[in-house]
A and B are shown apart, each in its own frame.
Chain A
Amino acid sequence: MKTAHELRPGNVIMLDGSPWVVQKTETTRSGRNAAIVKLKLKHVLQDSTTESTFKGEDKMEDIILERLDCTYSYYADPMYVFMDAEYNQYDVEAENLGDAAAYIVDGMEENCQVTFYEGKAISVELPTSVVREVTYTEPSARGDTSGKVMKPATITGGGTLSVADFVKTGDMIEIDTRTNEFKKRV
């Protein structure tokens, strides 16, 4: 079981007897510190998506499906192609990657986990942290070195996130893929 707060794109959960792939998670906070999680879900067996809201502590049945460690090979619209250690290729629909797609870039070395349902590759889970290059960010405005002042940045692959004020264009940074948060400069 996982709480709604712990879910991330690529997870597959069981709701009312049906498997759903988590495509996007968005966590906010209600009035008294409680997390509210908005999920975009895709039904594994039908071609339908839905948006749903949960309390952060709501428990979800996280289905353990067959998974394989794979590396990203290439993109053939609308499929991302991954390869296992034995050079078998698996196609995953771009839509099923949800927010994780922002971290899938050519030449990436991190291992991803491809999830299968009844023999079909249905989603991909990223490692919890990845290292990416900052392709653009404004120069430091305040000379802050504490890491508390944040500013927007674009990374390889086109994704955006908030980074510490001291980060510069060209820096390599570590990102938590579960929260899309900057962790540190590498």
Chain B
Amino acid sequence: MIEAPTVDPVTFSIIRHRLFRVVEEAVITLKHVSGSAITNEGHDLMVSLYQADGSLLMGGVGFLHHLTSAAEACKAIIRKFEGRIGEGDLFLLNDPYTAALHTSDIYLVSPIHHGGKLVAWSACFVHVSDIGAMNPGGFAPDAQDIFTEGFSSPGIKLIDGGELRQDLWETILNMVRNPEMVALDLRSMIACNNVARERMLTLIEKYGAPTVDTVCRMLIDQSEARLRERLRELPDGRWQSRQYLEVKGETYKVLLTMTKSGDALTFDFSGSSPQSKYSVNCSKWASLGGLFAPLFPLLCYDIVWNEGVIKPITMVAPEGTIVNCTRPAPVSVATVGAIQSVNNAACSAIGKMLAASDKYADEATAVWHANHFAIFMFGNNQRGRLAIGILTETFAGAGGARTFADGVDIGGEIPNPISRMANVETIEAQFPIRYLFRRRLKDSGGAGEYRGGAGGEMAIAAHDAPDGGIHYVVSGKGTKFPQSEGLGGGYPGGVNDYVWVHAPSEMHNADRFAATLETIPGEGEPISWGVFPLMGNDALYVRWNGGGGVGDPLNRPAEKVLADIGAGLISEQAAVEVYGVVGKNGALDQSATKAKRTALRDARLNAGGRP
């Protein structure tokens, strides 16, 4: 038995930082090679390093749901290809019932060998431009089972000893609608893994494999010890949260009971709805990723995200439910369906646990932007080429309020620390559309002593389209139920809305530049699920949810409420009815405000609702 080398603190720290940089440089590579707005603008991506056995070594930024699922992907490849994993190989896996979240989030995983020995893996994903599902773009609201959700592999060797398997490559690209863009997506991930492997080997060459391996093991032990120590500092208890989601008149529920005992944490999803016939379901690996997405930043903001963080956590997800569906249930909308609801529920429960601690109360948060609208557009663009892509505003998000501050308006989301939206011009350059407006949305942030961050609203119309317009896919749960729950008396953030505005038969030019939903000429039709046209002078209006609030809205300083009105973030109606703040000629009416707040508190006491 070879004894592990002793590592001094300086070397330990250098190697730790180098591992961070390996992941960071791989992410940069991925973005530079990719040509998709969803990747290099919205940052719907992930890169991480894994140990030789597939366990998480260094979790990177991007969509954190994937950190544990990609670990399972590595393990699945190890099982399937035992004895056939060589230097320069690269594997593809996107089967949701093996490890992936949905088929369009393809994992490419590369073994890293040193001296002929497998020492680590790099893994990454992007949401590819298309996967051949029955609806373009990967989200398939029309899908009835996994077989209609596109190409799905439990693991294939795409590169063998450094040689691309051209027959497989062509087969994959033959199954998608826009092979050029998907090829670029795949090449960006290959380049990403190549950089990760090269940088890891450089690190190993400099410090030696035994030393790097020792540091990796130390990092995992350290992460586990630090998370367990943190859990011991938090109070024992049980916290519940609940999420509703609706598809075509059917309501589903994700129920979470989170129990913290000593240095362990259990997430139990018993009581959640049976799996759906619609594609909002998710597999158990996806649920695991969904609960870890808020856990990493909320509980491990100063702890390396690796296997050590996973060990103290247990998940219970009953089979056959919406959070652990059975094959062949459809799952293509999982990432913005059940997974996001799991993420929201975990965020809410963790937030409540943190709020119960004097030491960690400042780390507590209401639920952030809880509902992606995830609209994929497709059609021939102004250059006559097929374009498929997402409206990246779905990544713009909104911050949940904290116990000491408002949520950040359009402030991103918990599960992806680097999410963002593209400039309007970027989308207009790729699609034959024109933005009518895009702005923060009034009354979208949950009310509270600390207000939830505002979501947004936007409208688009066809422009310079060779076919008279384009089509879009909406997998839009989130119009019936707010999902950004408040904390400690805070209200939930608003809901999403999708309105197809049918244009009148004749339009004046001035009408083509409406700046609000109300002034867009035509008749509005609420929509939420399916494929719809954006043709002629019709418009599509979308609004997205804000973050949850924290604390009693009647405790919010009146001056802040007036400032919110001035900034267009809340309405005068909300100021009076929710915050109890009355203005007069733009200034605070102190006596009327005092009377209104007293009346609102009295109304709570006299509601007669005490059970």
- Real binding pair: no
Interfacial residues, chain B to chain A (CB-CB below 8 A)? none
Interfacial residues, chain A to chain B (CB-CB below 8 A)? none
